């Protein structure tokens, strides 16, 4: 796929909208049976998803027109606000327990995940700080230490929710942004190696995470128990063949595949649209990645380059991990498929991030 600079803004808009439309279709396809069973309304999840989509579209067009340099002044306030919101998750008055985790805040009828805001806040802070320290980026004290220590608190709070997957995604993006900014490999590699024992402890020291690893290695050992979800996901993808069984005709979503409308929505895409549908989704995410790279390349300043790189990485990396999980290539972890999975906070924040990337590209073309 060849994308000329002058075409990138249009391609990014179309790519984002195609992914969102795919999400609307698949949320309905994967949820209408469950919605009828639970709420006697087959459109229950679709109506909620459409309302989030409208909010997301507003965020997309707003951030598309807000000059990205305005986020420089918001770097520390956003990070502080995100950290406070993450802390409130553990306060009974505001935090909501669901599925054995406390990842949501609830204010009246509004419920959202502060970890989604925290991801953006960390990237904006990194972009601002890496540009400000560009002359000292090769030193360990300024090129590495503040970019590890300052985001550490929100990452720890996300780990405590617990949300291991999101915390690891943020950490990976931090390392990627430091690499792009020119931090010495001799600083990054030892730091990564030193973090391995901590990651091992976080996994092996928690029973349910260790079970996920063991099940990932052989889900067929317990196909009706711990391995049920990944086995049903593989059955769904394998049933699709080349062209799929048809939109809405998938069988695995009929109470076989848990979380079909959220974390495992890609499995149903594979079943209903086959290899062709899977490839189209891959192409859309590849297109988004290329547009993000173009935006970073065209940015008139380093802040825009780092910001576009970080935001694009957040979306694409999460998509890669989600697809890897549902195809049995990575251990199970609750991460939605960007733009497509049901989930209000994730959808709204991802669309806002896409708008920021687009604004960076447009400013680069102007300058």
Is 50 inside a domain boundary? yes
**Whether pLDDT at 117 is above 80:** yes
For residue 364, name the pLDDT band (cuts at 50, 70, 90): confident
Structure confidence at residue 5 (pLDDT): 42
CA 10, chain centre distance (Å): 23
Is 119 inside a domain boundary? no
Find the helix or strand (DSSP H, E) in which 177 lies.
helix 164-181
Structure confidence at residue 249 (pLDDT): 92
d(CA 167, CA 43): 33
Asked if 146 and 183 touch (Cβ cutoff 8 Å), the reply is: no
Contacts for 251-255: CB closer than 8 Å, 24+ residues apart? 253/29, 253/30, 253/33, 254/33, 255/33, 255/34
DSSP 241-297: TTT-S-TT--STTTTTSTTTTTTTHHHHHHHHHHHHHHHHHHHHHHHHHHHHHHHHH
Q: Could you say which DSSP state residue 42 is in?
A: T
Q: pTM of the full predicted structure? A: 0.94
Beta strands in the chain (DSSP E): 95-98, 101-107, 110-112
Is 168 inside a domain boundary? no
Overall average pLDDT of the 178-195 stretch = 95
Q: State the sign of the Cα–Cα–Cα–Cα dihedral 294, 296, 299, 304.
A: positive
Q: Using alpha carbons only, give the angle 130, 352, 307 rounded to the nearest 5 degrees.
A: 15
Quote the percentage of the chain above a pLDDT of 70. Answer: 97
Q: 237 in helix, strand or coil?
A: helix
d(CA 303, CA 44): 42
> Is the peptide bond preceding residue 93 cis, with omega within 30 degrees of 0?
no
Structure confidence at residue 8 (pLDDT): 66
Q: How many CB atoms lie within 10 A of CB 289?
A: 18
Structure confidence at residue 224 (pLDDT): 80
Structure confidence at residue 219 (pLDDT): 87
Is 128 inside a domain boundary? no
288-323 confidence digits (pLDDT tens): 999 999 999 999 999 999 999 999 999 999 999 999
Asked if 290 and 266 touch (Cβ cutoff 8 Å), the reply is: no
50-90 confidence digits (pLDDT tens): 999 999 999 999 999 999 999 999 999 999 999 999 999 99
**Whether pLDDT at 109 is above 80:** no
**Whether pLDDT at 2 is above 60:** no
Is 351 inside a domain boundary? yes
Is 353 inside a domain boundary? yes
**Total domain count for the chain?**
1
d(CA 39, CA 46): 12
When the pLDDT of each residue in the chain is averaged and rounded to a whole number, the result is 91
d(CA 210, CA 331): 10
Structure confidence at residue 204 (pLDDT): 75
Whose CA is closest to 257, among 229, 218, 235? 229
| 66 φψ region: left (φ > 0), alpha (ψ -120 to 50), beta (else) | beta
**Whether pLDDT at 4 is above 50:** no
Structure confidence at residue 7 (pLDDT): 64
Structure confidence at residue 343 (pLDDT): 87
**Whether pLDDT at 352 is above 50:** yes
**Whether pLDDT at 100 is above 50:** yes
Is 216 inside a domain boundary? yes
Asked if 248 and 272 touch (Cβ cutoff 8 Å), the reply is: yes
For residue 1, name the pLDDT band (cuts at 50, 70, 90): very low
Structural domain boundaries enclosing 229: 5-71+182-366
248-295 confidence digits (pLDDT tens): 999 888 878 877 899 999 999 999 999 999 999 999 999 999 999 999
Overall average pLDDT of the 199-217 stretch = 80
Is 164 inside a domain boundary? no
């Amino acid at each position: 796929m060849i994308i000329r600079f002058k075409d990138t803004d249009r391609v990014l808009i179309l790519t984002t909208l195609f992914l969102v439309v795919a999400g609307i279709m698949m949320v309905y396809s994967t949820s209408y049976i469950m919605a009828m069973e639970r709420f006697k309304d087959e459109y229950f999840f679709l109506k909620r998803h459409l309302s989030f989509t409208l909010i997301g579209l507003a965020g997309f067009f707003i951030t598309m027109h807000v000059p990205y340099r305005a986020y420089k002044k918001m770097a520390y306030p956003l990070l502080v606000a995100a950290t406070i919101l993450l802390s409130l998750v553990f306060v009974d008055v505001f935090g909501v327990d669901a599925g054995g985790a406390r990842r949501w805040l609830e204010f009246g009828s509004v419920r959202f995940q502060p970890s989604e805001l925290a991801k953006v806040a960390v990237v904006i802070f990194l972009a601002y700080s890496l540009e400000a320290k560009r002359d000292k980026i090769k030193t360990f004290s300024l090129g590495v230490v503040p970019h590890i220590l300052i985001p550490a608190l929100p990452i720890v709070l996300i780990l405590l929710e617990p949300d291991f997957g999101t915390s690891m995604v943020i950490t990976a993006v931090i390392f990627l942004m430091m690499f792009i900014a020119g931090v010495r490999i001799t600083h990054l590699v030892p730091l990564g190696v030193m973090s391995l024992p901590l990651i091992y402890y976080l996994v092996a020291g928690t029973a349910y995470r260790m079970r996920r690893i063991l099940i990932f290695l052989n889900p067929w050992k317990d196909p009706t128990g711990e391995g049920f979800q990944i086995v049903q996901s593989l059955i769904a993808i394998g049933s699709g063949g080349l062209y799929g069984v048809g939109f809405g005709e998938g069988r695995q979503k009929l109470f076989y595949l848990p979380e079909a409308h959220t974390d495992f929505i890609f499995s149903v895409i594979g079943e209903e649209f086959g290899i062709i549908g899977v490839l189209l989704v891959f192409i859309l995410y590849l297109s988004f990645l290329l547009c993000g790279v173009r935006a970073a390349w065209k940015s008139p300043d380093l802040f825009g380059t780092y910001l576009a790189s970080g935001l694009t990485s957040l979306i694409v990396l999460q998509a890669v991990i989600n697809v890897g999980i549902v195809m049995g290539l990575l251990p199970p972890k609750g991460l939605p498929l960007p733009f497509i999975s049901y989930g209000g906070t994730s959808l709204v924040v991802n669309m806002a991030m896409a708008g920021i990337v687009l604004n960076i590209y447009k400013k680069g073309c102007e300058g």
